[in-house]
A and B are shown apart, each in its own frame.
Chain A
């Protein structure tokens, strides 16, 4: 039976350094939840606090409603998959998987049987008596997961488990992990710096930067409706226009930028005079066609160069003040033939742009 994980105003200080600052959120039972952020943002610290290796400096962590303070890692209903897997090199594969049962005084015959069941689940039935060193990277991954599943945890914690694998294997494992999670119904808490992983696998994502949660939402919301400039620039590519708010009308706002007056969704409810950033995704910018209305932003830009990537192309355009704007077009036959230096009129809908208060961006 899976359980909710609550973080209630959790803060972690290491001396003068604050790794996690006042995090409050609830991860629902049975959910695949990811913490996404660059290295050093605090996501590993949160994982270690949930699993019991660090006690938060302030705040409470509850699992299934029970306060976890003072409860050590061997008494919590969690199982952690380490980044380097931490499989026991001196034990066989089945002994690794059955170790959690050994700790619960399950007799040897039963342990072996359960280990064999789990080996079947992960499709490694003839690996039972092998040493860990004889397995490949992907196989070891699966053994680590089986070892954690053996103790039937309420919450599975995964620390960037796929970062050491090559691309093809990573994509395969993404699907497998998701399948296992759905099949067992265990709450998965997954941390990664790879946005592709987080967005495709998770029910919800928490984007983190420097110890602070920037936004908690599902993949579509994170991408289309970022809450902070960090989220807007960390996830996917985004064009940035800097300016000051000059007017507000309903859901939209207008800002004055070196590229002219631009309109976008006033997601943060900014008032006139605020310093603001307007974000427009490259794929939402198109070559101008048809009339220009109040809901359409239009710019005349110059083509710098085109990067042809196969199924799409990135056009690098230069606007006012040497700023680079990227326009992404699908390779569906409508790619224009353009020369470097040519003027390209483009437009994008105000509804497709987000205006946010000026704030720190994700450094590329």
Chain B
């Protein structure tokens, strides 16, 4: 056990406080689910109950929002992943100034505030005669989610040994066969990761969705609206469920990551 310097103890303490700062609000919010007080809080504690889960279950608008969020998420993945792959492949064929320019344009939606993306999507499609709604929310989200997909695929693509494609062609394979049997299997891990990322980015999106949704609701919009009007700990119940899923997801992600890392450590 090596001796720790004073400043090391201090920064570790600071880190501990930081972690408490991050998690305490979430714990408070989760705990308020079980308090029978109508206004979500942990003080005063009026009694332990599970009734807010019941209220959540009965809430039609919540189910409406959830279904819409899932639907939009799936469609966003279906659109974003193929286009993202195409964009990444295109970039590998460009060099110099052209590449820098195209790359810059492709990455720009990531640096653009979600509000701007939402507004620009809204006004553009309105001019084409298309009004707001889930379809517009989907398109607005795709605008920057495709960029995420593209970056992830591009990163993996850049470590690909182009000789493998040439070997395939040299052995007589058509371009389609080379793509299907050599490149795509290599990209598969990244494609799956990108699809998962795309789905979650879509699911939790608010700013862009807010401006493009029209009269439709997604789950995030529902939550934000309920906080302002008709607030009950049913929202906390929903939050607790979502947090639990997130923690589960983080654990699964870590397990997968560790397995992938140990697999890559074995020499090829």
Contacts and interface: CB of A to CB of B under 8 A. Distances in A.
Physical contact A–B (CB less than 8 Å):
yes
Given A84-B161, A86-B163, A133-B268, 6 more contacts: A91-B181, A99-B173, A102-B181, A103-B172, A132-B268, A151-B172
B167 A74 contact: no
Interface stretch (A75-83, A231-239, A317-325): A75-83
Nearest to A104: B172
Nearest to A90: B185
Interface of B: 161, 163-164, 166-175, 177, 181-182, 185-186, 266-268
Contact of B166 (A75, A86, A133): A86
Nearest to B188: A90
Question: What 10 A-B pairs come out closest when comparing CB atoms?
Answer: A100-B171, A103-B173, A86-B167, A86-B163, A103-B172, A133-B268, A74-B169, A73-B169, A80-B170, A90-B185
Contacts of B168: 88, 99, 103
B61 to A, nearest CB: 47
Contact of A79 (B164, B171, B175): B171
B170 A51 contact: yes
B173 A78 contact: no
B268 A74 contact: no
B268 A72 contact: no
Contacts of A90: 185-186
A88 B164 contact: yes
Interface of A: 51-53, 72-75, 78-80, 82, 84, 86-91, 99-100, 102-104, 132-133, 147-148, 151
Of A52, A75, A87, A88, chain B has the most CB atoms within 10 Å of the CB of A88
Contacts of A86: 161, 163-164, 166-167
Contacts of A75: 172
Given A89-B268, A90-B185, A82 B172 contact: no
Contacts of A88: 164, 167-168, 181-182
Contacts of A74: 169-175
Of A52, A53, A74, A91, chain B has the most CB atoms within 10 Å of the CB of A74
B114 to A, nearest CB: 38
Contacts of A104: 172
Contacts of B181: 88, 91, 99, 102
B164 to A, nearest CB: 5
A228 B175 CA distance: 44
A88 B183 CA distance: 10
A147 B164 CA distance: 13
B268 A73 contact: no
Nearest to B186: A90
Nearest to B268: A133
B171 A147 contact: yes
Contacts of B186: 90
Contacts of A133: 266-268
